[in-house]
């Protein structure tokens, strides 16, 4: 705090207080939701794995699928404060508040101790809706952003200090355990440090320090798998999601049967089961897209680079705008999706601030390299709000600098700068298919799943119904509604829900089969036949996969006394999958040969079986 006026100290204290209060108010809102202690998707996986590791139960013996940094934070917090999720969320609220102080410090250093720029940047970080939202999620973004900021502060003086270079390297190495995409920036920082001739040891110390946190994780992964895996094995799949001929379709796949099929493609297509080899397989698929369609791939890369700076927060796990509808805090801090607030203003101002800052490269080279490398690397994958969270604080610094530059400029230059901001704001808000993605039904869906796990099936059903109303075309709420109704002994309602799920996604054969079984139990064989025939008629799967439907239809037709229809179904089953049909046909014969006296039918049946 040397050289800091009393007024600036008071202003900074006020900003930090506001940042903490806002984050605590947001957490207080979240506490009333069942998802607070039962988070879905990646949050839930991290929480479950951290608890499992502390329990002493054996794990799956595989390397880390996702970067384990947040897993380590959760495990350490659970060990100290118990298994509840309030403590780790409070810790993230403190980390988000500390980020405001780091932004203030970094802004003062790279902009010649300009107090207004530093305080304004810290205030933006304190009240930025995406950062508040991300701080409530038990995901890597908040921690990665804080570690990156601390490293940037240290790197500003690293050329003159081996200790600072070592500390910055350790921080970036830790950040890589949360999100490995920071490693290209670490390489750039090492090259910048190497240009300082007075202390030749500094870049080497920095590189060694970066590796210190990474090497134990790499050793753990390698010992588990026999493959060289630096941090985690999900990188190849993420690369493929953003680099393939059906990019929009792949990006839109949500957790469920289709996502499971995607993750199992290496096993199904190439008999690859090792995690590292599967990741490499996905990488090769993505690179093959670049080789086969270089212009399309380059255009897609440019699109994702633009989306990194888009005004709308593009969802991945949780939709910020869906949470905004339920949160008073976020409704104040974040505008509706159509407005693009606050990044619709922040990003254009930051880009103007960057453009007017490039002349002083000695002070601002590393922050600029940080933003550029993050955008460039993430564009090789896909755009997402949570992926740009670490960049938002640095963008806030340049946005504050951009406002200061506009305010100081001569009238003619000011008009040109304002015109540039407006032009960039329009460019950053242009319609984009990715920016229209909304997961309107998912929060209710996951609330229903949580309530079912907690033993409240009626409450779960109400959540599933609300989810199906929010997005009638999403098959998942219908599927889960059917399961919940069937568990309560309501097979007809369950079958209705499952048939809606089939209509939404005919490629998933499970709900149609379950609907048929429920209708059989309810005494409605005609309804069961219709459900199975609807599966077959959709034709969304390989013919062999419909052998189950054909055999079930054969049994139902036999029960109805329609031998000809039963034989037609049996012929279809043998044509679709002879081996499976032969094994299941024996069961059918054992169950009905004694009760069905029809020599002609059984002669035809035996001929088919042979």
Residue 324 has pLDDT above 80, yes or no: yes
What is the mean pLDDT of the segment spanning 500-513? 96
Residue 588: per-residue pLDDT: 78
What is the structure's pLDDT at 293?
97
pLDDT at 84 > cutoff 90: yes
451: number of CA atoms within 13 Å, CB side? 20
pLDDT tens-digit readout, 91-144: 999 999 999 999 999 999 888 667 889 999 999 999 999 999 999 999 999 999
pLDDT of residue 278 exceeding 80: yes
| Average pLDDT of the residues in 341-353 | 97
List C-alpha distances in Å: 155 to 118, 165, 181, 372, 401: 18, 6, 18, 17, 20
Distance from chain centroid for Cα 506: 25
- Greater confidence (604 vs 275) lies with 275
pLDDT at position 288 is 98
Lowest mean pLDDT among 91-105, 573-587, 592-606: 592-606
**What is the chain's mean pLDDT, rounded?**
93
Average pLDDT value for residue range 5-24: 96
Residues 6+ apart with CB under 8 A from 607: none
Domain spans, the chain? 6-230+313-428, 440-541, 552-610
Give residue for tokens 């601390």.
150
Q: Which residue has the tokens 């969802």?
A: 315
pLDDT above 80 for 197: no
Summarize the confidence of residues 319-345 as an average pLDDT: 96
Alpha carbon dihedral 226, 229, 234, 237, in 10-degree steps, equals -80
Treating both helix axes as pointing N-terminal to C-terminal, what angle do 201-225 and 162-178 enclose, rounded to 10 degrees?
Answer: 30
Whether the pLDDT of residue 158 is over 90: the answer is: no
pLDDT digits (tens, 9 = 90+) for 376-409: 999 999 999 999 999 999 999 999 999 999 999 9
Give CA–CA dist 293/376, Å, rounded. Answer: 20
Judge whether 199 and 164 are in contact, CB under 8 Å. Answer: no
Task: Say if residues 188 and 153 touch (Cβ distance below 8 Å).
Answer: no
| Domain 440-541, second-level architecture | Alpha Horseshoe (1.25)
Confidence band of 598 (pLDDT split at 50, 70, 90): confident
Mean pLDDT of 51-57: 88
Helix 343-355 with 392-408: angle, nearest 10 deg: 70
**Average pLDDT of span 167-193:** 96
**pLDDT at residue 361 above 70?**
no
Average pLDDT over residues 518-538: 96
Q: Residue 218 CB: number of other CB atoms within 10 A?
A: 15
Residue 354 has what pLDDT?
94
Give the E-state strand segments of 334-440 in sequence order. Answer: none
Contacts of 566 (CB under 8 A, 6+ apart): 553, 554, 555, 557, 558, 601
Packing angle of the helix pair 392-408, 86-110 (nearest 10 deg): 40
pLDDT tier for residue 1 given thresholds of 50, 70 and 90: low
Provide the pLDDT for residue 159.
Answer: 62
- 205: pLDDT strictly greater than 90: yes
Residue 594 reports pLDDT greater than 80: no
* Percentage, residues of the chain above pLDDT 90: 82
**What are the pLDDT digits (tens) for 209-267?**
999 999 999 999 999 988 899 999 999 999 999 999 999 999 999 999 999 999 999 99
């Amino acid at each position: 705090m040397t050289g800091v006026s009393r007024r600036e100290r008071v202003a900074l204290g006020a900003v930090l207080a506001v940042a903490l209060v806002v984050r605590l108010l947001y957490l207080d809102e979240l506490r009333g939701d069942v998802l607070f202690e039962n988070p879905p998707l990646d949050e839930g996986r991290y929480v479950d794995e951290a608890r499992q590791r502390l329990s002493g139960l054996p794990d799956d013996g595989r390397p880390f699928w996702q970067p384990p940094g947040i897993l380590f934070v959760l495990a350490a917090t659970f060990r100290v404060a118990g298994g509840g999720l309030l403590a780790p969320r409070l810790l993230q609220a403190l980390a988000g508040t500390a980020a405001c102080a780091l932004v203030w410090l970094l802004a003062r250093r790279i902009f010649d101790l300009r107090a207004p720029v530093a305080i304004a940047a810290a205030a933006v970080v304190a009240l930025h809706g995406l950062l508040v939202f991300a701080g409530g999620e038990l995901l890597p973004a908040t921690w990665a952003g804080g570690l990156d900021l601390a490293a940037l502060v240290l790197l500003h003086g690293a050329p003159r200090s081996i200790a600072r270079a070592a500390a910055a390297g350790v921080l970036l190495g830790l950040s890589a355990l949360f999100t490995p995409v920071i490693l290209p920036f670490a390489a750039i920082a090492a090259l910048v440090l190497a240009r300082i001739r007075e202390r030749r040891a500094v870049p080497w110390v920095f590189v060694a320090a970066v590796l210190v946190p990474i090497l134990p994780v790499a050793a753990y992964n390698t010992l588990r798998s026999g493959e060289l895996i630096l941090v985690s094995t999900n990188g190849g799949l993420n690369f493929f999601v953003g680099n393939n001929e059906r990019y929009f379709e792949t990006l839109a796949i949500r957790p469920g049967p289709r996502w499971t099929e995607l993750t199992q493609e290496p096993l199904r297509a190439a008999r690859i089961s090792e995690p590292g080899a599967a990741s490499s397989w996905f990488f090769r698929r993505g690179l093959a897209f670049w080789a086969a369609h270089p212009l399309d791939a380059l255009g897609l890369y440019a699109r994702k680079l633009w989306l990194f700076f888009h005004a709308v927060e593009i969802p991945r796990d949780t939709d910020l705008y869906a949470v905004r509808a339920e949160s008073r805090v976020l409704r104040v801090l974040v505008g509706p999706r159509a407005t693009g607030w606050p990044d619709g203003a922040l990003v254009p101002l930051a880009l103007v601030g960057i453009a007017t800052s490039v002349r002083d490269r000695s002070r601002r080279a590393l922050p600029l390299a940080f933003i550029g490398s993050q955008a460039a690397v993430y564009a090789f994958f896909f755009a997402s709000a949570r992926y740009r969270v670490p960049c938002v604080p640095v963008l806030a610094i340049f946005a504050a600098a951009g406002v200061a530059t506009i305010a100081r400029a001569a009238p003619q230059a000011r008009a040109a700068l304002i015109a540039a901001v407006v032009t960039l704001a329009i460019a950053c808000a242009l319609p984009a298919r990715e920016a229209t993605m909304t997961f309107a039904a998912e929060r209710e869906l996951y609330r229903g799943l949580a309530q079912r796990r907690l033993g409240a099936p009626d409450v779960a059903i109400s959540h599933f119904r609300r989810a199906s109303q929010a997005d009638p075309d999403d098959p998942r709420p219908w599927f889960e509604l059917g399961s919940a109704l069937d568990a309560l002994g309501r097979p007809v309602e369950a079958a209705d829900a499952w048939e809606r799920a089939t209509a939404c996604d005919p490629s998933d054969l499970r709900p149609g089969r379950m609907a048929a079984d429920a209708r059989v139990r309810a005494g409605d064989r005609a309804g069961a036949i219709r459900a199975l025939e609807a599966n077959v008629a959709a034709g969304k799967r390989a013919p062999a996969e419909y052998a189950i439907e054909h055999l079930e239809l054969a049994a139902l037709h036999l029960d109805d006394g329609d031998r000809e229809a039963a034989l037609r179904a049996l012929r279809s089953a043998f044509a679709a999958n002879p081996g499976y049909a032969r094994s299941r046909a024996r069961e059918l014969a054992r169950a009905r040969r004694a009760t069905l006296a029809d020599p002609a039918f059984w002669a035809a049946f035996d001929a088919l079986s042979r």
